[in-house]
Amino acid sequence: MVEDLKRLLLVVLAVLWLLSSAQAGNTDRLSGHHCTDFQTANFLRGSKLKVQFLLFTSSSPSCGELILADDGIKNGSFNSSSETKIIIHGFRALGTKPSWIEGLVQAILHTSQVNVIAVDWVYGSTGAYASAVENVTQLALSISQFISKLLALGVSRTSIHIIGVSLGAHVGGLVGHFHGGQLGRITALDPAGPKYTRASPEERLDPGDALFVEAVHTDADNFGIRIPVGHIDYFVNGGKDQPGCPRFISAGLLEQAGVNMSKLPKEVKVYLMTSPSAPFCVYHSLVEFHLQKKRNRVTSIEITFFSNSTQDTAKITIPTHQDMGKRLLAHQVPLCQINSVTLKYIPKNRFWRKDEPSIVGKFCVAPLPLSSSRTMSCLPWNLTLPSKTDISYDLPTACA
Ligand SMILES: *[C@@H]1O[C@H](CO)[C@@H](O)[C@H](O)[C@H]1NC(C)=O
Ligand SMILES: *[C@@H]1O[C@H](CO)[C@@H](O)[C@H](O)[C@H]1NC(C)=O
Ligand SMILES: *[C@@H]1O[C@H](CO)[C@@H](O)[C@H](O)[C@H]1NC(C)=O
Ligand SMILES: *[C@@H]1O[C@H](CO)[C@@H](O)[C@H](O)[C@H]1NC(C)=O
Ligand SMILES: *[C@@H]1O[C@H](CO)[C@@H](O)[C@H](O)[C@H]1NC(C)=O
Ligand SMILES: *[C@@H]1O[C@H](CO)[C@@H](O)[C@H](O)[C@H]1NC(C)=O
């Protein structure tokens, strides 16, 4: 569960940078009614799911308004002409409120005037993972009924955006399924893997569950699902372990980002990288090494980019009998601020067979994305790289 907590903590870290100026107020509510928080389930959890729907709006981003029934929705601060984002958390081993909820709610409200509804199902999500999974269908039914009430108030289906974390992603999938796949959008953050990887599309999140389904994979080697589940699946840093403390990119999350809902790709996998510290964004460059002569063994070359204040490394591997290897190198400053590059040839010595003492070839680099105006630039032929030695070159790339 440490993994689970770590993962979710990331989410907070990721969204907090959006909030640099936003103050997390306490519990003041302009409209006068009191704030409701998440419940805490203890070991004596009952047989009731005790689902709570908490409404947050930009007039009171840190005060949850408990929504009980139709009346509660009508009389509250819910604005049926605005978009509605419904956040569904996942498995909560200890039955506690997810620590990232507040950060996520406030980050959304900081950038857009929407209704944010946090679904509290800590009672059903606690104990063993398997029993949380057993409660998923019933939970999805009550969220679906809740959405039906919103629709009855004149809310449009396409204005509903479900954000599901981990197990909550599959709950969101079921909710979308119950609404015939006609809700606007589902964003799955680190959709859960256990019990879902081999499930049928009806049982798990799939692209049929909403007009637009996207998933951000950040733990695919542990509790996260490995398979694509949306129209677009982002595999952050390869989708597995995250550098530093893991985190995610919220910019796909907060806006429609120009997505044309009438023409969607299916199961597009998108890979991206992040840096280990705020603001997490990185620049990507394609680095290549061309060998002068093909070799009958694998060649590894470590590439390090240096700027005045940063240093970023990637390893190029050239397969046996091939003359070129390439790799994506993520760096914290734009390529034009990179002053020098070091190349280090790492020989694979075995005691019965020593690798060659040096290799010769050409190094090339291009900032991504590649476009017709930005082509690869190469260090002049022919570099000789002695084994295990850092060879440093100036990288004369000027900022435009
Ligand atoms: C949730 O699942 C557990 C395990 O099956 C069960 O004991 C509990 O009654 C379920 N809760 C609800 C509300 O169905
Ligand atoms: C909402 O307003 C209606 C009509 O004014 C009233 O009957 C109902 O009790 C109110 N509900 C709540 C939860 O305040
Ligand atoms: C409700 O939302 C719409 C669209 O976002 C906005 O134009 C309107 O002013 C809002 N109404 C209230 C009472 O905030
Ligand atoms: C979205 O795609 C459809 C079909 O390709 C096209 O007719 C429509 O103009 C597009 N809408 C926008 C806003 O680009
Ligand atoms: C890096 O340091 C050099 C020498 O101090 C300076 O001229 C240059 O402007 C610095 N570059 C950046 C991007 O800060
Ligand atoms: C670099 O190596 C290539 C391939 O062997 C060769 O054709 C070329 O002449 C060399 N260039 C220089 C400048 O040595």
In this structure, the answer to whether residues 235 and 352 fall within a common structural domain is: no
In this structure, the answer to whether residues 129 and 172 fall within a common structural domain is: yes
Q: What totals of helices (H) and strands (E) does the chain contain, helices first?
A: 8, 18
Atom of ligand 6 nearest to the CA of 382: 1
Look at residue 290 and tell me if it is in a domain: yes
Q: What is the pLDDT of residue 260?
A: 43
pLDDT digits (tens, 9 = 90+) for 281-291: 778 888 899 99
For ligand 2, mutation pick of 66, 75, 149, 153 (most atoms within 8 Å of CB): 75
Look at residue 123 and tell me if it is in a domain: yes
Asked if residues 386 and 370 have their Cβ atoms less than 8 Å apart, the reply is no
In this structure, the answer to whether residues 264 and 329 fall within a common structural domain is: no
Query: Binning pLDDT at 50, 70 and 90, where does residue 20 land?
Result: very low
Q: What is the pLDDT of residue 248?
A: 41
In this structure, the answer to whether residues 369 and 266 fall within a common structural domain is: no
Look at residue 15 and tell me if it is in a domain: no
Q: Distance of alpha carbon 311 from its chain centroid, rounded?
A: 24
Look at residue 278 and tell me if it is in a domain: no
In this structure, the answer to whether residues 187 and 112 fall within a common structural domain is: yes
What percent of the chain stands above pLDDT 90?
35
Look at residue 81 and tell me if it is in a domain: yes
What percent of the chain stands above pLDDT 70?
74
Asked if residues 287 and 303 have their Cβ atoms less than 8 Å apart, the reply is yes
Residue 72: CB within 6 Å of ligand 2? yes
Query: Binning pLDDT at 50, 70 and 90, where does residue 89 land?
Result: very high
In this structure, the answer to whether residues 132 and 258 fall within a common structural domain is: yes
What is the C-alpha separation between 339 and 364, in angstroms, rounded? 15
What is the C-alpha separation between 160 and 182, in angstroms, rounded? 10
Is pLDDT larger for residue 233 or for residue 44? 233
Identify the H or E element spanning 133.
Answer: helix 129-134
In this structure, the answer to whether residues 250 and 385 fall within a common structural domain is: no
What is the C-alpha separation between 182 and 177, in angstroms, rounded? 8
Domain boundary among 218, 239, 272: 272
Domain boundary among 243, 272, 301: 272
Q: How many residues are there in the chain?
A: 400
In this structure, the answer to whether residues 187 and 231 fall within a common structural domain is: yes
DSSP 74-111: HHSS--TTS-EEEEE----TT----TTHHHHHHHHHHH
pTM for the full model?
Answer: 0.64
Residue 382: CB within 6 Å of ligand 6? yes
Q: What is the pLDDT of residue 289?
A: 94
Q: Which ligand is nearest to the CA of 128?
A: 1
Beta strands in the chain (DSSP E): 52-56, 65-67, 84-88, 115-120, 160-165, 185-189, 212-217, 232-236, 268-272, 283-291, 299-306, 311-318, 324-331, 340-346, 358-367, 377-378, 383-386, 391-394
In this structure, the answer to whether residues 263 and 302 fall within a common structural domain is: no
In this structure, the answer to whether residues 78 and 227 fall within a common structural domain is: yes
> Of the given ranges (14-23, 24-33, 265-274), which has the lowest mean pLDDT?
14-23
Average pLDDT in the 194-216 region?
88
Q: How many domains does the chain have?
A: 2
- Quote the ligand 1 centre to 212 CA distance (angstroms): 31
Look at residue 11 and tell me if it is in a domain: no
Residue nearest to atom 12 of ligand 3 (CA): 79
Residue 384: CB within 6 Å of ligand 6? no
Q: Is it the case that residue 142 has pLDDT exceeding 90? A: yes
Q: Which ligand is nearest to the CA of 263?
A: 4
Residue nearest to atom 7 of ligand 2 (CA): 71
Asked if residues 192 and 163 have their Cβ atoms less than 8 Å apart, the reply is no
Q: What is the CATH number of the domain that holds 138?
A: 3.40.50.1820
In this structure, the answer to whether residues 319 and 247 fall within a common structural domain is: no
What is the C-alpha separation between 120 and 92, in angstroms, rounded? 11
In this structure, the answer to whether residues 263 and 372 fall within a common structural domain is: no
Look at residue 314 and tell me if it is in a domain: yes
Identify the bridge partners of residue 350 per DSSP, sorted by sequence position: 353
- Quote the ligand 3 centre to 79 CA distance (angstroms): 6
Domain boundary among 272, 301, 319: 272
What is the C-alpha separation between 334 and 318, in angstroms, rounded? 26
Residue 71: CB within 6 Å of ligand 2? yes
DSSP 142-165: HHHHHHHHHHHTT--GGGEEEEEE
The arrangement of strands across the sheet holding 299-306 comes to 311-318, 299-306, 340-346, 391-394
Average pLDDT in the 188-207 region?
87
What range does the domain containing 348 cover?
283-394
Average pLDDT in the 15-35 region?
43
Residue nearest to atom 3 of ligand 1 (CA): 131
Q: What is the CATH number of the domain that holds 386?
A: 2.60.60.20
Look at residue 41 and tell me if it is in a domain: yes
Q: Across the chain, what does the average pLDDT equal?
A: 79
